[in-house]
Copies of this chain bind each other. A is one copy, B any other.
Amino acid sequence: MRDFLPDDVRRREHVIGIITRVYERYGFEPLETPAVENLETLTGKYGDEGNKLIFKILKRGEHEKSGEADLALRYDLTVPLARVMAQHHAKLPRLFKRYQIQPVWRADRPARGRFREFYQCDVDSLGSTSPVVEAELCAAVADAMTELGFSQFLIRLNHRQLLTAVLDVCGIPAGKHAGVLVTLDKLDKIGWEGVSDDLAKQDITAAALAGLKSVGDRPTVTLDEIAALFAKAGSIPPAVDNLREIVGLAGHTSAGTRIVFDRFLARGLSYYTGAIMEVNVPDLAGSLGGGGRYDNLIGMFSGQDIPACGFSLGLERILVVMDERQMFPPSVGGRYADVMVTIWNEASKTDALALASELRKAGLRVDVYPEADKLGKQFKHAASRHVPLVTVVGDDERAAATVTIKDLRSGRQDAIPRTEAGTHIRQALERAP
C-alpha cells in the first residue's frame, strides 16, 4: 500500500474529476459505503480464491483474544452496492444509477501496477433489463476514456449465455465450461496450439476443439457469422439478439465506433448473467476496466431479484498508462501556490501576513515563508517548489506603500502600488514564463 505525495494526489484527482464529470453527465448519482463490511457480507461472493484475499478485522475488546474476525475490508464495490440496495430499498428509486469511486483492499502479492489498496471507479444501473442500460454504460465509459485523452481504445463485448451456448453446441459438458473458459481467455497469449494442449489435459475431445475453432478461428469473427453457425445447428440463442440490440443502440452514441464483438471474452467474476464488456487500449496486456450484467446478485441480499449492469474502471492501471504515455496536461501537478510572500525581517512578519491576506482575498493561492530568513534562501525555497512569483516588502517599499514583485522565471522585478499587487500578479501569471 502506498502513500500519495502531492503530485500523485493531483494526478489521481485529475482522473477522478474527469470520470466523475462524465458519469454525472449521464445521470449517475454518487454513493459511498464504509471501508469495513461485516465479514459474512463478503464471504462466499468472490469464489475460493477471493475468500483468501479478504483482509479480516479482529474482534475488539475482550473478544480480541479469541483471534476471530467479524469484520472485513471492502473487496470490491459491487457487493456493497447489492447490500445497500437491500438495506436502503425504501429510500432509493426503482431505477437507480449510481457511481462510486473508492478504494478496495485485496491481500494479493503486490506486483507492478498491482497494489493491495487500489481504487475502483464503478458505475452501475439498477432496475432495468433493457439493453439501453448496456448501451448507456458503454457510451459513458467511451466518453470518460476520450476525455482522459485515450484516442485509441476498444470496448470488447460478449455475453455469458452466448459463451454457454457456444460450449454447449461444441458438445462440451456444463461441468467443464469454467475450465475451458479460463483456457480460451488465454487464446491471445498462447495461440490455438497452447489452447489445444490445455484442453487435452481437461479431457476435451478433438471434435469439441474443432467446434471451438470453427466458432472462433479469427479474432474478428462477427455476430452474424456466429448466428449463422447456430442457425445451422438448430436455433439462434437469445443472447445473439441481445448483443445485436446493444450494438445497434450503442451505434448512436459515443461508443459507436468503439464496440467490437469478441467471441471468447469471458470476464472472471461468476456473478455475471448477460452481456459482458471490457475496455482495452493498444499495446497494453490486460484491460483498463470491465463489467457486465448481473441480474441475480442483489437478490442474494434482498430476497428479491433486481436486474443490474455495471462497469468498473481501474484507477491505478489508468494512471500507470497515462503516466507512461505522458497524457497528463502540464497544469496537473504544477505549482502549489501562485505567489510566495517573503518576510523581510522580524518586525515585518505582521505586515507579511496582512499582505498574504489581501492577496488571498484577490483569489490567489498564497504561501508565506514562515521565518525572517535571508531573502536568497526564501527565493530558493519558492523556486524549488515551482512558485513563479515572490513579493518583497522592505523598508523602502513599506515607506512608499509599494510591493516588489519578482518573477523567479525571468528575474524581472516590478515595484507596484500595494493596492494593485493582486492585479499585477494575475497578469504576471498569465504571461508566458
Say whether chain A's binding surface is mostly helix, strand, loop, or mixed: mixed
User: CA A367 – CA B140 in complex, angstroms?
Assistant: 11
Q: A9 to chain B: which residues have CB within 8 Å?
A: 29-32
**Cβ contacts A90-115/B at 8 Å (1 or 0 each):** 01111101100001010100000000
Q: A297 to chain B: which residues have CB within 8 Å?
A: none
> Which of B8, B52, B57 meets A57, CB within 8 Å?
B57
Q: A316 to chain B: which residues have CB within 8 Å?
A: none
> Min CB distance, A352 to chain B, in Å?
8
Contact A249 B340 (CB under 8 A): no
Q: A176 to chain B: which residues have CB within 8 Å?
A: none
User: A10 at the A/B interface (Cβ < 8 Å)?
Assistant: yes
User: CA A5 – CA B34 in complex, angstroms?
Assistant: 12
Q: A98 to chain B: which residues have CB within 8 Å?
A: 6
Number of copies: 2
Binds B, one of A127-135, A179-187, A224-232: A127-135
User: A84 at the A/B interface (Cβ < 8 Å)?
Assistant: yes
Would A1 and B370 be within 8 Å (CB), given that A252-B353, A353-B132, A353-B135 are in contact? no
User: A47 at the A/B interface (Cβ < 8 Å)?
Assistant: no
Contact B91 A35 (CB under 8 A): no
User: CA A167 – CA B65 in complex, angstroms?
Assistant: 41
- Starting from the known contacts A55-B57, A67-B68, A252-B354, 8 additional A-B residue pairs (CB-CB under 8 Å) come to A1-B35, A25-B363, A35-B35, A55-B60, A55-B71, A136-B353, A249-B349, A252-B353
The 11 sampled A-B contact pairs (Cβ below 8 Å) are A1-B34, A4-B32, A5-B92, A6-B29, A9-B31, A26-B367, A29-B336, A36-B73, A125-B370, A250-B353, A254-B357
